C-alpha cells in the first residue's frame, strides 16, 4: 500500500499563490489512481481564513473515508480563531494533523497550538525553506514537543537549491526522535537517498504536493534510489501508518 502524506485540494483565494488554486478533488483522485496510491493526507490550499478550506477537506474525507485522511491549516495571526478551527477539525472531524506554511500567511506554530496537537496525537507538517535559521528553529520546536510528530515538508525547500540544506534537515532528523522529512518536490532523487543514508528510512515519508505536482514523480525518484524492500515499505507506507496511527 502507498500513502501520500502531503497533498492539497481546494479552490483557494490568494491570487499571489499561483499554483495552489483550483485544485480539484477529482484531479487528486485521478492522480492517485494513475500512480497506484491507496490513501492520501489532504490539506487545504492557501486561504486568509481557513473556515472554507477546512470544510472542503471535511466534505472530501466524508465522501472518501477509505482513501483520504484530513489535515487542517489555520491562520495563526488570529490565534483564538485558529485554535477553535483546529480543535474542531481534530476533535469533531477526525483530522489527523495540520500543515503550517509560514510564508503563505499561516503564521508560525504557537505554544497553545502545539499543546493542542499533543492533546490529539496529531502530526505537524511544516513547509520548509532552504534557510539555516528556519531549519534550526523547526528542529528546536520538535525537541520542545517530543510527542508531536513534526515533518519537514520538502526536506528544506523545493527547487534546485543546495543539497546541504537537505543534509542539515536529515542530520537534525537523525538526532531528534519525532522529527521527520517528506519527499514532496525534492529536486533530485540523490538528495532523497542521501537523507535516508543520514537519518534512516524510518524518518522519511512519501509526499508529493499533489495535485499541483503529480505523485508519480516522487514515486519514480524513490524507485531510482534502489532502496531495500524494507526501506521502501517504511517510506511509502509504514512510517505514515505509525505516525497517523492507522
Which residues sit at the interface with Zn ion, rule CB under 5 A? 209
Residue with smaller CB distance to Zn ion, 47 or 227? 47
Torsion angle of the four alpha carbons 240, 80, 137, 57, in this order, in degrees rounded to the nearest 10: 30
Nearest approach in angstroms of CB 238 to Zn ion is 22
Chain centre distance of CA 188: 19
Q: H or E element: which one contains 99?
A: strand 97-100
Question: Residue 226 CB, nearest distance to Zn ion (Å)?
Answer: 27
Nearer to Zn ion, 172 or 209 (CB): 209
Indicate the residue among 42 and 231 with the shorter CB distance to Zn ion: 42
Distance CA 139, CA 86 (A): 22
- In this chain, which residue has its C-beta nearest to Zn ion? 209
CB of 43 to Zn ion, least distance (A): 7
**Least distance in Å: CB of 10 to Zn ion?**
12
**Among residues 10 and 238, whose Cβ is nearest to Zn ion?**
10
CA distance 95 to 176: 25
Q: How far is the CB of 142 from Zn ion (least distance, A)?
A: 18
Instruction: Look at the chain and count its residues.
Output: 246
Q: What is the DSSP string of 197-212?
A: HHH-GGGEE----BTS
Closest to Zn ion by CB, 207 vs 238, is: 207
Distance CA 82, CA 137 (A): 21
Amino acid at each position: 500500500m502507498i500513502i501520500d502524506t502531503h497533498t492539497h485540494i481546494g479552490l483557494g483565494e490568494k491570487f499571489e499563490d499561483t499554483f495552489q488554486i483550483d485544485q480539484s478533488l477529482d484531479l487528486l483522485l485521478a492522480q492517485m489512481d494513475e500512480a497506484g496510491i491507496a490513501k492520501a493526507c489532504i490539506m487545504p490550499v492557501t486561504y486568509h481564513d481557513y473556515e472554507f478550506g477546512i470544510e472542503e477537506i471535511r466534505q472530501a474525507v466524508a465522501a472518501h473515508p477509505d482513501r483520504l485522511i484530513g489535515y487542517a491549516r489555520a491562520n495563526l495571526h488570529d490565534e483564538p480563531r485558529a485554535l477553535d478551527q483546529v480543535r474542531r477539525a481534530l476533535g469533531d472531524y477526525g483530522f489527523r494533523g495540520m500543515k503550517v506554511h509560514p510564508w503563505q500567511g499561516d503564521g508560525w506554530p504557537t505554544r497553545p497550538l502545539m499543546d493542542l496537537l499533543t492533546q490529539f496525537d496529531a502530526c505537524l507538517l511544516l513547509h520548509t525553506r532552504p534557510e539555516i535559521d528556519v531549519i534550526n528553529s523547526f528542529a528546536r520546536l520538535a525537541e520542545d514537543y517530543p510527542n508531536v510528530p513534526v515533518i519537514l515538508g520538502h526536506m528544506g525547500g523545493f527547487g534546485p537549491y543546495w543539497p546541504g540544506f537537505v543534509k542539515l534537515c536529515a542530520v537534525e532528523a537523525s538526532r531528534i526522535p519525532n522529527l521527520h522529512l517528506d519527499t514532496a518536490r525534492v529536486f533530485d532523487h540523490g538528495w532523497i537517498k542521501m537523507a535516508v543514508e543520514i537519518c534512516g528510512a524510518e524518518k522519511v515519508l512519501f509526499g508529493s504536493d499533489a495535485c499541483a505536482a503529480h505523485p508519480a514523480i516522487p514515486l519514480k525518484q524513490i524507485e531510482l534510489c534502489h532502496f531495500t524492500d524494507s526501506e521502501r515499505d517504511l517510506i511509502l507506507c509504514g512510517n505514515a501508518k505509525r505516525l497517523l496511527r492507522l
